[in-house]
Amino acid sequence: MDHTTHRLAPIPMDDRIMALALQMKQAGLPWEPEVGCFVWDREGIIAQPSPFPKRIYFILSMQRFLAIFGDQEKMKRHLVWLPTWYQARQVLRRLRIADPGADWDRSAGQSATGEAEMIHLYQRILQGLRASGQESAGKRHSVSRGQESGWIRAVMISDLGDVTRLPVPVQRRIEAVYREVACAYLGWRRIQEGQADDWLPPETAFDNDLLCELGHFYSDYQKSIQSLDRIRKVAHLLGAIDPHTDRENFDRLMSLILERDYPQSPQQNIMNQLTTGEAINPVS
């Protein structure tokens, strides 16, 4: 804080924090550029001066940044994201990394600075990323892998919304299916577009026509595509079921997601009954 003007800095402009942010990027931290993000233009690409020191910019208008970089993928490639305190806490939760929370507040005491807390949060994120195996030996490869994981998660959220309310095994199964499908999908999209192995589509959604082709013609992908289709249908049906009052149907839907092969006749009958509007009644 500037005690003469009582102004509060929006984030600490500390070299240690910027260095940790770069390491998080290299370790594969997923990030989608959007309004409200602070970024570090360490390569000096942005010609316009910043109101902040050390080439730190605030994304107030995506159009301005897209005019400079061309698309979001180039923004992610050339800029370093500097998560705010709140964003860093959100990242910890999304990556299932233990949040220091109140324990840090108590242990740090009143003498702790904002810079020290931000450094601690960034270090926790970096440790979690490295522990999860998202960092590889080659920095360029590891950044691409993190971006690909972020793209897959964005597709999953676009399709299903928030899945964190579901049982952990179900969440893991959903994530595994989306990774399996994305592996085949991205491979064929890159071939179609004549792009490199680290290219990602600009849209965060699967093209249903390509999914249909993959599921119909290429037997190696059929089970994954069928599992994806089943998960999408179940997600749609979940909106009509209250797990507190209709636990039986909720559990049946969870079982359908966890089913690894294409459902046999009894399970398909369950899906048909639920799809035709019987989800609010117990299934015999």
- Given a cut of 70, the residues of the chain with pLDDT beneath it are 1-7, 98-112, 133-145, 216-220, 260-284
**Following CA atoms 10, 70, 62, 92 in sequence, which dihedral angle do they give, to the nearest 10 degrees?**
-50
Q: What is the pLDDT of residue 66?
A: 94
Q: What is the pLDDT of residue 67?
A: 94
Q: What is the pLDDT of residue 222?
A: 80
Rounded to two decimals, the pTM is: 0.46
Backbone angles phi, psi at 23, to 5 degrees: -65, -35
Instruction: Residue 128: count other Cβ atoms within 10 Å of its Cβ.
Output: 19
Q: What is the pLDDT of residue 194?
A: 79
- DSSP letters, 258-278, are H--SPP-HHHHHHHHHIIIII
Q: How does pLDDT run across 214-253, given as a tens digit for each residue?
A: 776 545 678 888 889 989 988 888 878 888 888 888 888 8
Are 137 and 224 in contact by the 8 Å Cβ rule? The answer is no
Q: How does pLDDT run across 195-212, given as a tens digit for each residue?
A: 777 788 888 889 888 888
